[in-house]
Structure 1
């Protein structure tokens, strides 16, 4: 006997198929992350290097629809980013202004009542799920902030919610359980200072709740306000796996980016990363009328300043992208272009060259060492100051060294920092990722190198290798 499918049943089957198709395909979970054995870096659970290359996408969950989120994440994956930093309870009125589908995260702005509805694609958290799944499917971890800082510190807040320690612990436990099996790095805080014991208690309770919910599956750090670091308040805390700085929206080395080295030198040893350096196309020092807007060069310099000073990775940002600005949104601090144009700005693509450079040499033995550079008679020339500070890093065993030159100025290096008898020297171009061989020299005395564009404000990296190691050209990962 022949059975016919009713039109109504066909309709509902089609809807179900479309709902399933809207989710990224299932894949093996991303490897768990841990702190490396020497406590300086991050690694996968099987011990492989994990160079954290992040992008600030604070409003990702709140402002983008799924098609837009796909476009953003696919672009970042192509550019070798492996972390995107985004906020669950977003800064820009994330409690009351609905997401792209008209959904809000909480019932009556109560963190003990996430607004959950039956079925897929029906609520705010379904959208967060989709984006996290999509990111993970592309090999990207989500640096997930449970809330922006104005929800626990009212200094810059707009009202609607004030966490207590009990609320923070319960919300953290719920969030930890929901994303226990996802590729997540927890980032507490959110650009606000910790001013008193009440604030400390809220952050500690949130960390405790996350640990309870995810069973310790994910690393935890803290995103501080500009010019500060998590170490200022929480360095001794067991839950803080690695330090995060916000060296912020300045362009000079001293007073901001030199603080990465200060955190590197703290005890007990913990990895450190700059989670918010100056964004591309951002008003410099929030004073565009006096200093204009930053460029790709301004965002490249902090990468090398931070990483060569011991950071375990780096975070890029663009002023339009963090706020996912489009013309129908209220702009914050005069973004220059919509987010979907800004993702193609040159600084974003140039970050991957630095990542590949670091991964092309032994990873876990790298240390900061500005003593590779010979101080000039005029020290403000070399190693320099302001925007033009030189920095250096090397292998602790002496198999390689690297010097970042932010401009085409001649400088001297100590060749005996390389332990082998012969040094193979290269220029690495941070703008293109290309390497050119200079030659081979004895590992004795001091030697002057002149970048390929002398006198120009174009940055270069000098790479010195023990020739016997026969390393590949800088930036080529074997």
Structure 2
């Protein structure tokens, strides 16, 4: 079972870097055979957690499978009549995932199921009545608590009205009463940091979403710093950076590529969100099939993804696995953002203190003047594209990190 400290997560008393893949539609769209293939692949790549929506993902890709959590009446869910077979099937998938060593982060109420959220107006099957929360949450506990999940109370939500907030507070209070030993967090909408106090006090760790909007590339680190300031003393994770090959939100032309998602990950982790990172691939989260439609005209207007059989081979997944490897190799579990190392402010270069020095993400090849003497430091430079390594030891008094020998972004480890 996972435990939370003030800065990171522990598993069996040892530091645990949360490396999750996004598979929101697992319970509704994936066959049992494909589930095994998917788990094996992500395990090979170093992932140790999965993010799944308990209820059907409102923007999932079409599927011929029919897994319904509630009775459907005249095109709308009857939230008071739960389908035991749906939850039994979901539990089966969870059991297999646990056998492969994955931790589970399960979203309880995606925003389309809650009134007055940005997505509720798009959901044709209707929002959940407040009176149905208790029986639904009881079923969630009965089905999933035995897997020691992280319960994610909200999914992609904003908190626009007291009514909306009351749903999440009710669900959190009820579930924490039933499952007090599980960890709790929320998944909030992109470029957003507000969490109601009554809900935040129920949370053990905090998530934010830098998201898929191309208008401000600073979101991964700006949101991390803002969340740290607003809600100190809890582990922080960017639970939805830009997904690999995802179209830009708002119907804008363009897609996020491998180098974009790597940048977002390192900027997040070195800016306060050091408890973990989440990977996402367009085509996996919605489990897209070739030749099917996609809801590009609703919500954030994402372009049609590649089918999951192609998306599962995107190279960025390996980059995220390599990140987790480096975190463990250099013991980067208690990172503290510290831009004071740089003599001249440079937002693109992210800096964090480590237990015995510093870690820097440097996106381009430049010399960096620091505010300290580097004499006695060992510099390890990791090329994040080729994974080549260059090592330099400072034997003379200098305050400048010279240009590194690589061509793109690097991780710099300074150790005394």
**Please, what TM-score do these two structures have when normalized by structure 2?**
0.89
Q: Output the CA distance in 2 between the equivalents of 1:93 and 1:293.
A: 18
C-alpha distance 126-440 of structure 1, shift in aligned 2 (>3 A):
same
Kindly indicate whether residue 338 of structure 2 is the aligned counterpart of residue 369 of structure 1. Answer: yes
Shift of 1:136: 1.0
- Aligned pairs for 1:269-288 (under 5 A) are 269-288=233-252
C-alpha distance 459-56 of structure 1, shift in aligned 2 (>3 A):
same
- Aligned pairs for 1:261-410 (under 5 A) are 261-289=225-253, 292-311=254-273, 312-332=275-295, 333-375=302-344, 383-384=346-347, 389-395=348-354, 397=355, 399-410=356-367
Give the aligned partner of residue 5 of structure 1: none
Shift of 1:166: 3.4
Could you report, residue by residue, the CA deviation over 1:286-308 in whole angstroms, capped at 9, with x for unpaired residues? 4443xx21110000011111100
The DSSP-based 3-state class of the residue aligned with 1:323 is: coil
Could you report, residue by residue, the CA deviation over 1:22-43 in whole angstroms, capped at 9, with x for unpaired residues? xxxxxxxxxx11111xx11111
Aligned length: 401
Could you report, residue by residue, the CA deviation over 1:28-82 in whole angstroms, capped at 9, with x for unpaired residues? xxxx11111xx111112x3211111111111111111111111112111111111
Q: 1:459 aligns with which of 405, 409, 413?
A: 409
Could you report, residue by residue, the CA deviation over 1:416-467 in whole angstroms, capped at 9, with x for unpaired residues? 4x7xx62111111223444332x211485412321223xx4x210111111x
Give the aligned partner of residue 48 of structure 1: 14
Could you report, residue by residue, the CA deviation over 1:80-123 in whole angstroms, capped at 9, with x for unpaired residues? 111111112122378xx99754331112423343212xxxxxx2
Q: Is the 8 A contact 2:17 2:333 kept in 1?
A: no
Q: Output the CA distance in 1 between the equivalents of 2:231 and 2:28.
A: 38
Could you report, residue by residue, the CA deviation over 1:243-297 in whole angstroms, capped at 9, with x for unpaired residues? 11111113544355311012122344221111111111122344443xx211100
Q: Is the 8 A contact 2:62 2:294 kept in 1?
A: no
Q: Is the 8 A contact 2:159 2:195 kept in 1?
A: no
C-alpha distance 414-443 of structure 1, shift in aligned 2 (>3 A):
farther
Q: Output the CA distance in 2 between the equivalents of 1:167 and 1:444.
A: 68
Shift of 1:148: 2.0
Give the aligned partner of residue 28 of structure 1: none
Q: 1:187 aligns with which of 149, 152, 167?
A: 152
Q: Is the 8 A contact 2:7 2:334 kept in 1?
A: no
Give the aligned partner of residue 115 of structure 1: 83
**Please, what TM-score do these two structures have when normalized by structure 1?**
0.78
C-alpha distance 141-103 of structure 1, shift in aligned 2 (>3 A):
same
C-alpha distance 198-236 of structure 1, shift in aligned 2 (>3 A):
closer
Q: Output the CA distance in 1 between the equivalents of 2:285 and 2:340.
A: 37
Q: Output the CA distance in 1 between the equivalents of 2:325 and 2:396.
A: 26
List runs of 5+ in structure 1 lacking aligned partners.
Answer: 1-31, 117-122, 467-478
C-alpha distance 53-102 of structure 1, shift in aligned 2 (>3 A):
same
Shift of 1:147: 3.2
Q: Output the CA distance in 2 between the equivalents of 1:166 and 1:112.
A: 9
Q: Output the CA distance in 2 between the equivalents of 1:131 and 1:443.
A: 58
Q: Output the CA distance in 1 between the equivalents of 2:106 and 2:27.
A: 10
C-alpha distance 460-128 of structure 1, shift in aligned 2 (>3 A):
same
Q: Output the CA distance in 2 between the equivalents of 1:232 and 1:211.
A: 17
Give the aligned partner of residue 206 of structure 1: 171
Give the aligned partner of residue 135 of structure 1: 97
Shift of 1:134: 1.6
- Aligned pairs for 1:80-91 (under 5 A) are 80-91=46-57
User: Which deviates more from structure 2 when the two are superposed, residues 243-252 or residues 159-168?
Assistant: 159-168
Q: Output the CA distance in 2 between the equivalents of 1:343 and 1:161.
A: 32
Q: Output the CA distance in 1 between the equivalents of 2:382 and 2:4.
A: 29
The DSSP-based 3-state class of the residue aligned with 1:204 is: helix
Q: Is the 8 A contact 1:56 1:84 kept in 2?
A: yes
Give the aligned partner of residue 431 of structure 1: 385
Q: Output the CA distance in 1 between the equivalents of 2:137 and 2:269.
A: 31
Give the aligned partner of residue 4 of structure 1: none
Kindly indicate whether residue 399 of structure 2 is the aligned counterpart of residue 446 of structure 1. Answer: yes
